[in-house]
Structure 1
């Protein structure tokens, strides 16, 4: 009898443990259901999931939708205290229509998003949220609509006057930037005030944790937007030929306008919320890294002015973005590894000893093209190689393909350079269809795939976490850079072709 009791007790204990594990997994589960009106069916939805709200980090992934009539749903397990999710659909007119962008989710959320046609809104749709955790989604949606109104006002290129390749001090270009920066900062401040009032209306329904985190997001959004509004005209003016005294005058005017902005007091928000705020992290990294403010030791500023997990995350995020652009980065990363304690931050810093460092040998890949032929790195010996990594559904990858077409066309008769596009889709047929669509690659590219056994080794080797990623390799098979100029405007496109020309001409 005693033996039976012991066996029953052991079985009961095992059942309780299993039930606990199931409950724990269920408590971490997040389900996002999407329901749309029958008159506006949606064939494809994309859900982006970020555990830490930083690009190029582990935790970034796309979750496939499971579909039924007039609806889609996504299931994921949220391993962290929060995650950031984005929801979009492909569009022929604008490439992608974004429904939600980096909304904060929590373990246990079970939210239904109702998508309705609404021609009065910018993207043509309105959203309603219901279910467990839906209040924070509705609040973030209301906040995003206010911010969207601000963004729509400022997307036009200025005219400017040039004489003998020099920008004239009193040109429209000069006046535009100063006037526009003032206008943008005022508009962002208005958005900030409106969003604080929206947040207060939700305060009692959000709970203390989410209220403070969203407050950190609102504060961070204001400062992140304002620093971006400053950096754009500053770099545009700096990149053009300009008489030094004129540049100094414009620079001082821009900085004075920025310094007189309204500044939120981040000291009101405890570090535990700032640590989780993607907007705050983004602001501090831009504010620290950019040379506008002439900090000689950007890393030292982060090391000395922050503590604990917040410092760990800021330093990891800083090097994630700027490792290949900053001097003494290797020395600073080695120093950071002596005090950074957060596991995933240490892992990120350790990854910068990888082979994307300039001068290291490139990964000796062997990957198939669309016909099944194996293409090797050695096949390109004696040529400069520009490789871009992409996946189907990546809007940035489509944009890069558009930007690269004129550059690849420029070199099409030059046999000392080759362009290779490496796709990371698991589904080979999806990859081939994407090539045929002409949206992700160009006619001058050699199209390869990692969607085979061991094909992902190149991704792991280079620790690629975000797409598109571009790598340039020299004629001897060594890395030139893992962070080349992005060809998103005439100035940076020229910087890229200058880099390629120098690499081609070197022995």
Structure 2
């Protein structure tokens, strides 16, 4: 009896002792490096704690001072894998960053060198991209960039070019597998796989799809569609965890693009007018997947498709019924609210070319059409030309103001682009986000993830449409926009 009592007391004392031992604090996530020794300014990086397909929202812009070429970032509150974008002058692709990473980047004319904890993961991504770029330069069968894809696709190149890029990516990933966590390995594997599939979808949409529309026999067109879909898109052979698939931007994007192809096949090439049936099908197709992946997919759908959607409110309500994750629900609610019309517009505060502050209140009583653009955006150039008849229709009206808003950060680039006259019309008012770029509150509220984008606001400061008709060269769409503006005036 005494023995059992002694053991019980000892057990309780031991348990109490263990309960008082604090769990070790998570290692900080640190990114530091060395630039040119004479550099003394600041450096910026962008952190994406969550991605939804290739649509990145809630970007965090982090800055650090550079002293004698040295810089250091300490990323707070990182509790899972995220995507990190270094400045374009250093590297144009994203890195995977994990809690506890402590990496030193040496920047030189010869490229980047990485050292520190988990540095080989960064080296893998950097060297893989460098090799792909060299293959492009040597005209070997590979392409990876969107511009290169479009060029190669229209030239009729075989999809083996895409596969050769994928094979190289997977070989490099396998080589570095032992140097990174299993979670990071799986996410990169999903990214490379999804990128391969998305490139084939891009090739299909740019080259084969216009050709299919010229076929007189719709049955023959559909046969070709189905054959391509089965051979290149439908077969999902990647074997990784659902959690890693949920993190991967490219894999989630592939699933969404695949759903688009399926809908095109079902509609014999005609785009859907409403998208509620699509999100319902997506929910049903992945109803047996873990909540983490299914809810991420539904949320990504609602972020991906709103531009062309005529029933976004209904889709958002469906999403809110199916998604339980609090942060995802908050995001869906935000998108739903930002697409509601005849509600007060989110207030903006931009700068004009003279440096004066321009706000929404400055346009009381006037109809306002905002046009967002950036230098290098080819569709933005095309829209400027196509908007000319629209601007001419209201050139004598004091009730309509056309405003173009530059969404990048660099003011000098903005002013230089304005002088070129390719992106804006002289009769419109030119504004700038004063260095905030996509971090500007107005742009974040309306989820500006691509350009060009139009937003129409009435004289009461209410949003009339965040997806007004965007002139595409046809008289029909142009006249729809003109009619909408006229109705907004009245």
- Once the two structures are TM-superposed, the CA of residue 434 in structure 1 deviates from its matched residue by 5.7
Per the TM alignment, residue 476 of structure 1 is displaced from its structure 2 partner at its CA by 6.0
Give the 3 Å change call, closer, same or farther, for CA 485–44 of structure 1 in structure 2.
farther
Task: Check if 1:201 corresponds to 2:183.
Answer: no
2:349–2:358 CA contact under 8 A, matched in 1: yes
Give the counterpart of 1:305 among 265, 285, 291. 285
Give the C-alpha shift of residue 186 in structure 1. Answer: 1.3
Residue 107 to residue 323, structure 1, CA distance change in 2 (3 Å): same
Does structure 1 retain, via aligned residues, the 8 Å contact 2:103–2:118? yes
Corresponding residue SS for 2:321:
coil
Alignment of 1:392-471 (within 5 A): 402-407=381-386, 409-411=388-390, 413=392, 414-415=394-395, 416=397, 417-422=400-405, 435-438=414-417, 442=424, 443-448=426-431, 458=442, 462-464=445-447, 466=449, 468=451, 470-471=453-454
Task: Determine if contact 1:77/1:107 at 8 Å carries over to the other structure.
Answer: no
Rate the CA distance shift 1:274–1:247 in 2: closer, same or farther, 3 A: same
Q: Distance in 1 between matches of 2:411 and 2:170?
A: 48
Query: 5+ residue gaps in structure 2?
Result: 1-19, 137-141
Aligned residue for 1:245, secondary structure, equals coil
User: For the residues of structure 2 that align with 1:366 and 1:218, how far apart are their CA atoms?
Assistant: 39
Is residue 2:273 matched to residue 1:289? no
CA contact (8 A) 1:199 1:215 kept: yes
- Hey, what does 2:186 align to over in structure 1? 212
1:51 paired to 2:25: no
Helix, strand or coil for the counterpart of 1:268? coil
Which residue number corresponds to residue 227 of structure 1?
Answer: 201
Kindly indicate whether the alpha-carbon contact (under 8 Å) linking 1:485 and 1:495 is maintained by their aligned counterparts in 2. Answer: no
Quickly say closer, same or farther: Cα 1:75–1:437, change in 2 above 3 A.
farther
Q: Deviations over 1:258-303 (max 9, x none)?
A: 5323877446212011111111011111111354233783212221
- Distance 1:256-1:198 versus aligned 2 partners, 3 A rule: same
| Matched ranges for 1:54-453 at <5 A | 54=52, 58-77=57-76, 79-89=78-88, 97=89, 99-117=91-109, 126-148=111-133, 149=136, 150-151=142-143, 155=148, 180=156, 183=158, 185-233=159-207, 236=210, 245=216, 249=220, 252-253=223-224, 255-261=226-232, 265-266=236-237, 268-290=239-261, 291-294=263-266, 297-306=277-286, 307=289, 308-357=291-340, 359-363=341-345, 365=347, 367=349, 369-370=351-352, 372=356, 375-376=359-360, 379=363, 381=365, 383=367, 385-388=368-371, 402-407=381-386, 409-411=388-390, 413=392, 414-415=394-395, 416=397, 417-422=400-405, 435-438=414-417, 442=424, 443-448=426-431
Residue 501 of structure 1, aligned match among 473, 482, 489: 482
The separation in 1 between residues aligned to 2:154 and 2:432, in whole angstroms, is 47
- Alpha-carbon distance change, 251 to 432 in structure 1, aligned in 2, over 3 angstroms: same
33 and 486 in structure 1: CA distance in 2 versus 1, 3 angstrom threshold: farther
SS of corresponding position for 2:95: strand
Q: Taking structure 1 as reference, are residues 334 and 106 closer, same or farther at Cα in structure 2, changes over 3 Å only?
A: same
Contact 1:189 1:262 in 2 (8 A): no
DSSP 3-state at the match of 1:288 = helix
Distance 1:481 1:221 in 2: 33
Contact 1:37 1:116 in 2 (8 A): no
Q: CA deviation at 1:418?
A: 2.9
Count of aligned residue pairs for this structure pair:
434
| Aligned-pair CA distance for 1:60 | 0.7
Given that 1:100 and 1:141 are in contact with CA atoms closer than 8 Å, whether structure 2 keeps it comes out as: no
